[in-house]
Each structure stands twice: as C-alpha cells, then as structure tokens.
Amino acid sequence: MDLATRSCADPPPAALLVGIAQFNRGEYFECHETLEALWLAEPTPLRRLYQGILQVGVGLHHLRGGNYRGAAGLLARGTAYLEPFAPRCLGVDVAGLLAAARRCQAAVAALGPQRLDEFDWRLAPRIDVTSSER
C-alpha cells in the first residue's frame, strides 16, 4: 500500500492495536511509547489520530499522578487532535473516545486541582476498535 494514500478506511496498523490494548489496560506510559513511534513515522495526516490518542493517554497518566494542569491540558489537546477523525478512523471508534474523553475532562475540571484524587476511574475512556469496512 502506498503510504501517501493511506486513509481512515484502511485497517489499523499492528502498532496501533498494541497501543490501544495498552491504553485500555491503563498502561498509559507504555501506550505513549508505542504510539509515539507510530506517530513520528507516519507521513500522512493520520499521524494526528495517533497523536490524539497518545495525548489523551498521557493526560490520564498525569491524572493518575495528581497533575491537574497536565491532565486538563493534554485531555484538551488530545480531543482537539481527534475531532477531525470522528466518527471512525482505522477501525477506531473516535466518536466514542471523544465522548468519553470529554466526560473525563469535565470531571477533572469539576474536581479541580485540590480534589483530583477523588476522580472516578470508571470514567476513564476505553478505545473500541472494529474491523475495517473495506
């Protein structure tokens, strides 16, 4: 496949599936490492999809560590990168991830920096992937 013509309709690359599995297990640092390599190597606009997932994951990593500014900022930037790829891209349910990330973002904002340890981790986004419609 010509990399320059890759599109959202294509099946997800193996490294993306690995990164998503890490994300869904709460292994946000590992997910960052996996997706950063994919993001840096991607020559097409799909790199922003990888960057968006990566940043949402890093936001959750910061949330876990009690870093309010890091969590709020990366969740916001990550969702901004993901928006153009909704509702689905490379089999990823981007619309579902965006909705969950926004709920998480709202909860973080409502808690503020003093009560971040009260975050309900059931609100943490999970990423659903389906096979390509091709």
The tens digit of pLDDT for each residue in 88-98 reads 999 999 999 99
Using alpha carbons, list the distances in angstroms from residue 130 to 11, 89, 93: 9, 10, 8
**Residue-level pLDDT at 133:** 46
**Stated pTM of the model:** 0.92
Q: How far is the C-alpha of 53 from the C-alpha of 31, rounded, in Å? A: 9
**Residue-level pLDDT at 134:** 42
CATH top class, domain 13-123:
mainly alpha
**Would you list the domain boundaries of the chain?**
13-123
Handedness of CA 52, 85, 92, 17 (dihedral sign): negative
In which element (H, E) is residue 28 found?
Answer: helix 28-41
